[in-house]
Chains A and B, each alone.
Chain A
């Protein structure tokens, strides 16, 4: 101990309350923003926040919004997102965002209030068994019954949320513990109860094996995922170096977009159910697949027994349970993607490997590229949704832009037509597929990047799920842009009903839609509507130039489908395309219909 700050000296004389310990611990963890909503069981914490200028509190309108906003903050900064909600309904409303963060490996620390310890189990007012409910949807959770444990638990929670495979951690704090005086210990002195030290360095023998395999490949591919984004910007840079060294094509999952620049010649676009024609064919026909920080999700693999049948597979993942979970791999390497890619580059150089001749492979890839799987028919009178996103991209690409999405067709079109050159610029709900994610995620991203252009590419159905967070944006002067691809349908549901359920459009029409322009104005923002392709550019510019939050009602073609599509139960080389005249009714067999 070299120096002692005044704050520390004060602590010695006057013990802090639990609430003050929590706030101090958050400050010491480098937290600057909290997304939350007050209530009875967190009043002491809110009282402590009242005296703490270092923590900005963003008052959301619903606790689900707080968790998604924290996810947007985390995804766009690489730092953990922090949520503060009350007991009972506060905690249960936050559950969707917590599960979302678990599925997409987003670091969150969620603090929930709880009824006083002596009331736990008595069905007290606003009591819910928060640790019981969140046990299966958090990376770890705590009920802190003793104020002496509180500081340690908070520091440990940040360590667990951010190390290894990131994820949400819940800390449930009973109200009496918030009032109780107790000791504060800093992050350095806190002795963790749990020895949680996941492996980050990859096994050198396996890395050498992987490199030797890669060097002999005739048709290699890099299949990358959100793990690269989570490993930090250096990992994205290392991926670029490795890919250029080997000369192999690169594709990515939805979560990994931006890790490899879309402008690069080696970029194939996203793979999977609505991935690019070339990416899916490359995955099917490759001879060596290098999976970096992705998890062979069912949206990626399609039919498992026909997934990339002729390839040797190398899988790099920080989570040992991801390896061999869905797809059996030949070389599994556990560790941090950034560290392992760097070691792979070193192993390549040490081994004196030369860039392989992949001319034949690239010639094949060019024929797939030439097929232009994302092609759609333009219409001079109606805005096609793809066209709307293409124009949005063209008019925003030279700015510092962050894109979030809701879930459905617009999300897939955004992934297909918006091009990302850098990591942390893209926030979407991949694993859980949470409609309503994008608007609050934009709030979180804009809090972290006040000068950036933050756009939620939304659907008119999804956006209504967390619409009220637009008020939050108004309150905090966050000029987020909600770009609604409004086709008056739950588009992806409608598409599946068309393909799988005999065009019986059961409850998927967006009835009684609000007038989004008037709604924006009523909420204190700006409403803009575009109905024809001619006026689209000018309207988008008006949106970008507005210093206020904007709801943009982009009226698009109503029954456009999202292609390419790997139908359920089919393989990568059995994609449906929008323009090849396939009989869509019979494209999916009965077995495929069982799958989601």
Chain B
């Protein structure tokens, strides 16, 4: 469908419960590539061994119509049990884990450690001239921290992509 004026691109997180069987991740990823949808991040792991279920969390983006289409396309796949729109759910929680290596000495190094403390990042490895921080939080918080580390000697990082769940008893 051609994009219409006033239709902004939105970001959306879908939590997808799938049958845990070989090839299921390829089915989901294949759907996105075949239909030209974006994947901003994707995480997958078995979450319910007894019921052979895995949970895939996908962050994607598109116009509201495209997002509706992505959801419908996921929903009709045989291996997919449920699709939940976490970002539209007021009870939705989204978190990401990151590992961040920063290299520096002297005042820069001290400043990196101070900022890490403010962000409640954990130091999980250190040398005389580097740290590896572990930081968990919303993706925006991690982006912010990375921005601050940039001038202080950011070397590399690794991020898990978004994980999600809903608050409450259900």
Decide whether A and B are members of one complex.
Answer: yes
Chain A residues with CB under 8 Å of chain B are 131-132, 135-136, 139-140, 143, 160, 164-165, 193-196, 198, 304-305, 319-321, 323-328
Contact A136 B68 (CB under 8 A): no
With contacts A323-B72, A324-B69 taken as known, whether A194 is within 8 angstroms of B19 at the C-beta atoms is yes
Min CB gap A113→B, angstroms: 19
Min CB gap A58→B, angstroms: 28
Name the A residues within 8 Å of B75 (CB-CB): 320-321
Contact B78 A140 (CB under 8 A): yes
**Chain B: which residue is nearest A141 at the CB level?**
B23
Cα separation A305 to B5 with both chains bound (whole Å): 12
Contact B27 A135 (CB under 8 A): yes
Contact A321 B76 (CB under 8 A): yes
Contact A135 B69 (CB under 8 A): no
Cα separation A136 to B68 with both chains bound (whole Å): 20
**Chain A: which residue is nearest B65 at the CB level?**
A324
Cα separation A196 to B80 with both chains bound (whole Å): 9
- A132-B26, A324-B68, A328-B65 are known; give 18 further A-B pairs, CB within 8 A: A131-B23, A135-B26, A164-B76, A165-B76, A194-B78, A196-B78, A198-B76, A304-B2, A320-B72, A320-B76, A321-B69, A321-B72, A321-B73, A324-B69, A325-B1, A326-B1, A327-B1, A328-B1
Cα separation A402 to B78 with both chains bound (whole Å): 33
Name the A residues within 8 Å of B22 (CB-CB): 143
Subset of 23 A-B contacts with CB under 8 Å: A131-B23, A132-B23, A132-B26, A135-B26, A135-B30, A136-B31, A136-B34, A143-B23, A160-B78, A164-B76, A193-B21, A193-B52, A194-B19, A195-B81, A196-B78, A304-B1, A320-B75, A320-B76, A321-B69, A321-B72, A321-B73, A325-B72, A327-B1
Contact B78 A139 (CB under 8 A): yes
Name the A residues within 8 Å of B27 (CB-CB): 135
A-B pairs, 6 with minimum CB distance: A321-B72, A140-B78, A320-B72, A321-B73, A136-B30, A196-B78
Name the B residues within 8 Å of A325 (CB-CB): 1, 69, 72
Contact B78 A135 (CB under 8 A): no
Name the A residues within 8 Å of B72 (CB-CB): 320-321, 323, 325
Cα separation A327 to B30 with both chains bound (whole Å): 24
Min CB gap A101→B, angstroms: 16
Cα separation A323 to B19 with both chains bound (whole Å): 26
Name the A residues within 8 Å of B65 (CB-CB): 324, 328
Cα separation A196 to B31 with both chains bound (whole Å): 18
Question: CB-CB contacts of B1-35 with A at 8 A, as 1s and 0s?
Answer: 11000000000000000010111001100110010
Question: CB-CB contacts of B56-88 with A at 8 A, as 1s and 0s?
Answer: 000000000100110011011011010000000
Contact B76 A194 (CB under 8 A): no
**Chain A: which residue is nearest B31 at the CB level?**
A136
Cα separation A315 to B167 with both chains bound (whole Å): 36
**Chain A: which residue is nearest B76 at the CB level?**
A321
Contact B79 A140 (CB under 8 A): yes
With contacts A304-B2, A324-B69 taken as known, whether A319 is within 8 angstroms of B76 at the C-beta atoms is yes
Name the B residues within 8 Å of A194 (CB-CB): 19, 78-79
Report the count of interface residues on B (CB-CB < 8 A). 22
Min CB gap A440→B, angstroms: 27
Min CB gap B54→A, angstroms: 14
Name the B residues within 8 Å of A196 (CB-CB): 78
Which of B2, B21, B23 sits near A135, CB closer than 8 Å? B23
Most chain A C-beta atoms within 10 Å of own C-beta, residue among B21, B52, B69: B69
Min CB gap A460→B, angstroms: 34
Contact A305 B26 (CB under 8 A): no
Cα separation A36 to B34 with both chains bound (whole Å): 30
**Chain B: which residue is nearest A138 at the CB level?**
B78
**Chain B: which residue is nearest A160 at the CB level?**
B78
Name the B residues within 8 Å of A143 (CB-CB): 22-23
Name the B residues within 8 Å of A328 (CB-CB): 1, 65
Min CB gap A137→B, angstroms: 10
Min CB gap B168→A, angstroms: 25
Cα separation A196 to B19 with both chains bound (whole Å): 11
Min CB gap B141→A, angstroms: 35
Which of B1, B19, B23, B26 sits near A193, CB closer than 8 Å? B19
Name the A residues within 8 Å of B78 (CB-CB): 139-140, 160, 194, 196
With contacts A135-B26, A320-B75, A321-B73 taken as known, whether A305 is within 8 angstroms of B2 at the C-beta atoms is yes
Cα separation A160 to B27 with both chains bound (whole Å): 16
Cα separation A92 to B28 with both chains bound (whole Å): 22
Min CB gap B160→A, angstroms: 26
Name the A residues within 8 Å of B52 (CB-CB): 193
Min CB gap B114→A, angstroms: 50
Cα separation A140 to B79 with both chains bound (whole Å): 8
Name the A residues within 8 Å of B79 (CB-CB): 140, 194
Cα separation A326 to B22 with both chains bound (whole Å): 32
Cα separation A304 to B4 with both chains bound (whole Å): 12
Name the A residues within 8 Å of B68 (CB-CB): 324
Cα separation A6 to B58 with both chains bound (whole Å): 52
Min CB gap B69→A, angstroms: 6
Name the B residues within 8 Å of A131 (CB-CB): 23
**Chain A: which residue is nearest B70 at the CB level?**
A321
Cα separation A198 to B78 with both chains bound (whole Å): 10
Name the B residues within 8 Å of A304 (CB-CB): 1-2
Cα separation A316 to B72 with both chains bound (whole Å): 15
Min CB gap A534→B, angstroms: 52
Min CB gap B37→A, angstroms: 12
Min CB gap A317→B, angstroms: 11
Name the A residues within 8 Å of B31 (CB-CB): 136
Name the A residues within 8 Å of B19 (CB-CB): 193-194
Cα separation A198 to B75 with both chains bound (whole Å): 10
Cα separation A320 to B31 with both chains bound (whole Å): 16
Min CB gap B64→A, angstroms: 10
Name the A residues within 8 Å of B21 (CB-CB): 193
Cα separation A143 to B27 with both chains bound (whole Å): 14
Name the A residues within 8 Å of B76 (CB-CB): 164-165, 198, 319-321
**Chain B: which residue is nearest A194 at the CB level?**
B78
Min CB gap A343→B, angstroms: 22
Cα separation A457 to B31 with both chains bound (whole Å): 36
Min CB gap A177→B, angstroms: 15
Min CB gap A134→B, angstroms: 11
Cα separation A305 to B3 with both chains bound (whole Å): 11
Cα separation A190 to B78 with both chains bound (whole Å): 17
Name the B residues within 8 Å of A327 (CB-CB): 1
Cα separation A325 to B2 with both chains bound (whole Å): 10
Name the B residues within 8 Å of A165 (CB-CB): 76
Min CB gap B85→A, angstroms: 14
Min CB gap A198→B, angstroms: 7
**Chain A: which residue is nearest B30 at the CB level?**
A136
Question: CB-CB contacts of B108-125 with A at 8 A, as 1s and 0s?
Answer: 000000000000000000
Cα separation A449 to B26 with both chains bound (whole Å): 40
Cα separation A458 to B124 with both chains bound (whole Å): 71
Min CB gap A92→B, angstroms: 18
